[in-house]
Amino acid sequence: MPMLLALAALAAASCGGPYTPKRMNLATDKLALADRLFDKGSFGSAAVEYKDFLATFAGDERSDYAQYRLAESYRFDEEYALAEVEYRILINDYGYSDWVDDAFYLEGVCAFRQTPRFERDQTKSYQALERLNRFLQMFPSSWGDPAGAIEEYRSVLQSKDAIPEKAEAGKRLKFLERKAGGTRNADGG
């Protein structure tokens, strides 16, 4: 019986479980690890490392970058509600950052990605439009064509018979995201 319990405990321990952050003493090493995980497509693990960076190295000059990449990790993992919150934190806490214009736009993108089927309440759709309009007002000469996307989303919302157009608007949004480059590195490239 004790042998069986030991084997069961060993099997349970080898299953892995949730990712836990690696303990590191240097902020540069921690950020490099998080970036490597992100670049490999391990967005959940990268998010854990970026969160740990922000908690462990609070006040580091690259905290705005880590906050942006945390939001991006959630967005690429299709956790749009979490990404939206993290972009808002970036906007509120790091207003000086080079990433703020991206955060304003991507906050609207995440709101749009959370829109339900057309027959349901479209509050998130209207929030997405509001955020994209705010982005246009604040950054009128920014990349892409958010104005065209906004018009498409608005026309979709005006007609409950326009369900196929919502899918088309989603494709346009993906195009704009790709055109914007998706994400940038710490050096801005």
Per-10-residue mean pLDDT, the chain, length 189 = 51 58 84 96 95 93 96 96 95 92 87 72 75 77 63 60 50 56 46
Which token pair is 26? 């240097």
Count other Cβ atoms within 10 Å, centred on residue 55: 9
Residue 108 sits in which domain range? 99-181
Residue 107 lies in a domain: yes
Residue 16 lies in a domain: no
Q: Give which of 56, 57, 58, 52 is closest to 70, Cα–Cα.
A: 52
Distance CA 49, CA 170 (A): 30
Q: What pLDDT is stored for residue 110 in this prediction?
A: 87
Q: Same structural domain for residues 124 and 61?
A: no
Q: What pLDDT is stored for residue 145 in this prediction?
A: 61
Which token pair is 136? 């246009």
Residue 93 lies in a domain: no
| Radius of gyration of the CA atoms of the chain, in A | 20
Q: Same structural domain for residues 74 and 31?
A: yes
Q: Same structural domain for residues 35 and 75?
A: yes
Q: Same structural domain for residues 112 and 152?
A: yes
This prediction has a pTM of 0.68
Q: What pLDDT is stored for residue 82 in this prediction?
A: 96
Contact 108, 137 (CB under 8 A): no
For the chain, the domain total comes to 2
**Of 83, 114, 129, which marks where a domain is finished?**
83
Q: Same structural domain for residues 109 and 49?
A: no
